[in-house]
Amino acid sequence: MMRCLGRLALLPLLVLALGLGAAALASPASASKIEPFASYRPETKCSPKAKPGAVFLRGWLVKRYGGSPGRISAKCTSSVSEHQEGRAVDWGMDAAKKKDRQTVKKFLAWAFGKDNQGNLAAKARRMGIMYIIWNDRMYPAWDQFESKPYLSSSCTSKKKCSKTLRHRDHVHISLTRKGGFGNTSWYDGKLDKG
Protein backbone atom coordinates (compact mmCIF):
# COMPACT_ATOMS: atom_id res chain seq x y z
CA MET A 1 0.00 0.00 0.00
CA MET A 2 2.82 2.44 0.90
CA ARG A 3 4.59 1.60 -2.37
CA CYS A 4 1.39 2.44 -4.32
CA LEU A 5 0.93 5.75 -2.45
CA GLY A 6 4.57 6.65 -3.13
CA ARG A 7 4.05 6.13 -6.86
CA LEU A 8 0.87 8.20 -6.79
CA ALA A 9 2.73 11.02 -5.02
CA LEU A 10 5.32 11.07 -7.83
CA LEU A 11 2.68 11.19 -10.56
CA PRO A 12 1.92 14.96 -10.29
CA LEU A 13 5.66 15.74 -10.41
CA LEU A 14 6.08 13.61 -13.53
CA VAL A 15 3.09 15.27 -15.23
CA LEU A 16 4.43 18.73 -14.34
CA ALA A 17 7.91 17.90 -15.66
CA LEU A 18 6.53 16.49 -18.91
CA GLY A 19 4.23 19.49 -19.34
CA LEU A 20 7.05 22.00 -18.87
CA GLY A 21 9.26 20.10 -21.29
CA ALA A 22 6.54 19.97 -23.94
CA ALA A 23 5.81 23.68 -23.51
CA ALA A 24 9.47 24.52 -24.00
CA LEU A 25 9.60 22.43 -27.17
CA ALA A 26 6.33 23.84 -28.54
CA SER A 27 7.24 27.51 -28.16
CA PRO A 28 10.91 28.34 -28.51
CA ALA A 29 11.67 31.98 -27.70
CA SER A 30 12.44 32.88 -31.31
CA ALA A 31 9.12 31.47 -32.56
CA SER A 32 6.95 33.09 -29.90
CA LYS A 33 7.79 36.73 -30.65
CA ILE A 34 7.45 38.20 -34.11
CA GLU A 35 7.94 41.75 -35.28
CA PRO A 36 4.83 43.67 -36.37
CA PHE A 37 4.31 44.66 -40.00
CA ALA A 38 6.61 47.64 -40.51
CA SER A 39 5.27 51.09 -41.19
CA TYR A 40 6.97 53.39 -43.67
CA ARG A 41 9.97 55.08 -42.09
CA PRO A 42 11.95 56.84 -44.83
CA GLU A 43 15.54 57.96 -44.65
CA THR A 44 15.85 61.03 -42.43
CA LYS A 45 19.60 61.56 -42.09
CA CYS A 46 22.72 61.08 -44.14
CA SER A 47 24.34 57.91 -42.82
CA PRO A 48 25.30 55.90 -45.93
CA LYS A 49 27.68 53.41 -44.32
CA ALA A 50 26.29 49.92 -45.00
CA LYS A 51 24.58 48.61 -41.87
CA PRO A 52 25.45 45.07 -40.70
CA GLY A 53 21.98 43.58 -41.19
CA ALA A 54 21.85 44.87 -44.77
CA VAL A 55 25.32 43.47 -45.52
CA PHE A 56 24.37 40.10 -44.06
CA LEU A 57 21.06 39.95 -45.94
CA ARG A 58 22.70 40.78 -49.29
CA GLY A 59 25.29 38.03 -48.83
CA TRP A 60 22.66 35.54 -47.68
CA LEU A 61 20.44 36.24 -50.71
CA VAL A 62 23.28 35.70 -53.20
CA LYS A 63 24.51 32.58 -51.41
CA ARG A 64 21.05 31.02 -51.09
CA TYR A 65 19.40 32.14 -54.34
CA GLY A 66 22.16 33.31 -56.68
CA GLY A 67 22.13 36.58 -58.55
CA SER A 68 24.64 39.30 -57.86
CA PRO A 69 25.26 41.60 -54.90
CA GLY A 70 24.05 45.12 -55.63
CA ARG A 71 24.53 48.32 -53.74
CA ILE A 72 23.55 49.06 -50.16
CA SER A 73 24.88 52.59 -49.75
CA ALA A 74 24.34 55.69 -51.84
CA LYS A 75 25.75 59.19 -51.81
CA CYS A 76 23.44 61.53 -49.93
CA THR A 77 21.36 63.81 -52.12
CA SER A 78 18.11 65.73 -51.77
CA SER A 79 16.08 62.66 -52.78
CA VAL A 80 14.80 60.23 -50.15
CA SER A 81 16.29 56.73 -50.19
CA GLU A 82 17.03 54.17 -47.51
CA HIS A 83 20.31 53.57 -49.42
CA GLN A 84 21.39 56.92 -47.91
CA GLU A 85 21.03 55.33 -44.46
CA GLY A 86 22.79 52.11 -45.52
CA ARG A 87 19.70 49.97 -44.93
CA ALA A 88 18.48 49.18 -48.45
CA VAL A 89 19.69 46.14 -50.36
CA ASP A 90 19.80 45.82 -54.13
CA TRP A 91 19.95 42.19 -55.24
CA GLY A 92 20.93 41.75 -58.88
CA MET A 93 18.28 39.76 -60.76
CA ASP A 94 17.00 40.21 -64.33
CA ALA A 95 13.23 40.28 -64.91
CA ALA A 96 13.84 39.51 -68.61
CA LYS A 97 15.17 36.07 -67.63
CA LYS A 98 12.65 33.38 -66.73
CA LYS A 99 15.06 31.71 -64.29
CA ASP A 100 15.57 34.97 -62.36
CA ARG A 101 11.82 35.67 -62.26
CA GLN A 102 11.24 32.16 -60.88
CA THR A 103 14.01 32.63 -58.31
CA VAL A 104 12.56 35.92 -57.05
CA LYS A 105 9.08 34.37 -56.98
CA LYS A 106 10.48 31.56 -54.82
CA PHE A 107 12.11 34.06 -52.43
CA LEU A 108 8.91 36.13 -52.16
CA ALA A 109 6.84 33.00 -51.43
CA TRP A 110 9.33 32.06 -48.70
CA ALA A 111 9.45 35.58 -47.20
CA PHE A 112 5.68 36.18 -47.36
CA GLY A 113 4.61 32.70 -46.27
CA LYS A 114 3.07 31.81 -42.91
CA ASP A 115 5.11 30.29 -40.11
CA ASN A 116 4.05 27.34 -37.92
CA GLN A 117 2.13 29.73 -35.66
CA GLY A 118 0.11 31.08 -38.61
CA ASN A 119 1.85 34.49 -38.72
CA LEU A 120 1.53 36.08 -42.18
CA ALA A 121 4.75 37.13 -43.93
CA ALA A 122 6.65 35.74 -40.98
CA LYS A 123 10.16 35.71 -42.46
CA ALA A 124 9.82 39.17 -44.03
CA ARG A 125 8.67 40.59 -40.70
CA ARG A 126 11.44 38.82 -38.79
CA MET A 127 14.00 40.18 -41.29
CA GLY A 128 12.74 43.72 -40.74
CA ILE A 129 11.67 44.22 -44.35
CA MET A 130 9.82 47.51 -44.81
CA TYR A 131 9.10 47.04 -48.52
CA ILE A 132 10.32 45.29 -51.66
CA ILE A 133 10.26 46.64 -55.23
CA TRP A 134 10.72 44.28 -58.19
CA ASN A 135 9.61 44.22 -61.82
CA ASP A 136 7.17 47.16 -61.69
CA ARG A 137 5.60 45.90 -58.43
CA MET A 138 5.91 47.08 -54.83
CA TYR A 139 5.26 44.92 -51.77
CA PRO A 140 4.82 47.22 -48.73
CA ALA A 141 4.79 45.81 -45.19
CA TRP A 142 2.22 48.40 -44.07
CA ASP A 143 -0.25 46.73 -46.47
CA GLN A 144 0.74 43.18 -45.41
CA PHE A 145 3.07 42.96 -48.46
CA GLU A 146 0.15 43.01 -50.90
CA SER A 147 1.51 43.46 -54.43
CA LYS A 148 0.82 46.88 -55.97
CA PRO A 149 1.78 48.49 -59.30
CA TYR A 150 4.93 50.60 -58.99
CA LEU A 151 6.20 53.50 -61.07
CA SER A 152 9.21 55.49 -59.92
CA SER A 153 8.48 59.15 -59.21
CA SER A 154 11.32 59.89 -61.66
CA CYS A 155 9.30 58.37 -64.54
CA THR A 156 6.26 59.67 -66.38
CA SER A 157 5.46 56.21 -67.81
CA LYS A 158 6.92 52.71 -68.00
CA LYS A 159 7.97 53.32 -71.61
CA LYS A 160 10.06 56.33 -70.59
CA CYS A 161 11.54 54.62 -67.55
CA SER A 162 14.84 52.72 -67.40
CA LYS A 163 14.94 49.08 -66.36
CA THR A 164 16.82 50.15 -63.23
CA LEU A 165 14.14 52.64 -62.14
CA ARG A 166 11.53 50.00 -62.95
CA HIS A 167 13.48 47.55 -60.78
CA ARG A 168 13.71 45.04 -63.63
CA ASP A 169 17.47 44.51 -63.23
CA HIS A 170 17.46 44.18 -59.46
CA VAL A 171 15.25 43.56 -56.43
CA HIS A 172 15.19 46.49 -54.01
CA ILE A 173 14.67 45.59 -50.34
CA SER A 174 14.30 48.43 -47.84
CA LEU A 175 14.79 47.46 -44.22
CA THR A 176 13.57 49.03 -41.03
CA ARG A 177 16.31 50.61 -38.94
CA LYS A 178 16.29 47.57 -36.65
CA GLY A 179 16.52 45.28 -39.68
CA GLY A 180 19.36 47.37 -41.09
CA PHE A 181 21.33 46.91 -37.89
CA GLY A 182 20.43 43.21 -37.66
CA ASN A 183 18.39 43.78 -34.48
CA THR A 184 15.35 41.68 -35.44
CA SER A 185 14.61 38.05 -34.60
CA TRP A 186 15.73 36.65 -37.99
CA TYR A 187 19.29 37.80 -37.33
CA ASP A 188 19.53 36.19 -33.85
CA GLY A 189 22.80 34.28 -33.73
CA LYS A 190 23.70 35.19 -37.33
CA LEU A 191 25.66 38.39 -36.72
CA ASP A 192 28.76 38.92 -34.63
CA LYS A 193 27.74 41.88 -32.50
CA GLY A 194 30.91 41.87 -30.42
Q: Per the domain annotation, does 4 fall within a domain?
A: no
Phi, psi of 90 (to 5 degrees): -105, 125
Q: CA–CA separation, 173 vs 16, rounded Å?
A: 46
Q: CA–CA separation, 104 vs 112, rounded Å?
A: 12
Q: Per the domain annotation, does 23 fall within a domain?
A: no
Q: Per the domain annotation, does 194 fall within a domain?
A: no
Measuring CA to CA, how many Å separate 101 from each of 50, 55, 164, 169?
27, 23, 15, 11
Q: Per the domain annotation, does 133 fall within a domain?
A: yes
Sheet of 148-149: strand order equals 68-69, 88-92, 171-175, 129-134, 137-140, 148-149
Quick one: which of 105, 150, 118 has its CA closest to 131? 150
Q: Which domain holds residue 58?
A: 37-187
Q: Per the domain annotation, does 144 fall within a domain?
A: yes
Q: Per-residue pLDDT for the chain (194 aa), expressed as one digit of tens each? A: 545 444 545 444 444 444 444 443 433 444 558 999 999 999 999 999 999 999 999 999 999 999 999 999 999 988 889 999 999 999 999 999 999 999 999 999 999 999 999 999 999 999 999 999 999 999 999 999 999 999 999 999 999 999 999 999 999 999 999 999 999 999 998 887 65
Q: Per the domain annotation, does 11 fall within a domain?
A: no
Q: CA–CA separation, 68 vs 15, rounded Å?
A: 53
Q: What is the pLDDT of residue 171?
A: 99
Q: Per the domain annotation, does 115 fall within a domain?
A: yes
Amino acid at the residue 33: K
Q: CA–CA separation, 36 vs 70, rounded Å?
A: 27
Quick one: which of 189, 175, 172, 176 has its CA closest to 70? 172
pTM: 0.82
List b or e across 146-168, with b for residues whose CB sees 16 or more CB atoms inside 10 angstroms: eeeebeeeeeeeeeebeeebbbb
Number of domains in the chain: 1
Q: What is the pLDDT of residue 79?
A: 85
Q: Per the domain annotation, does 94 fall within a domain?
A: yes
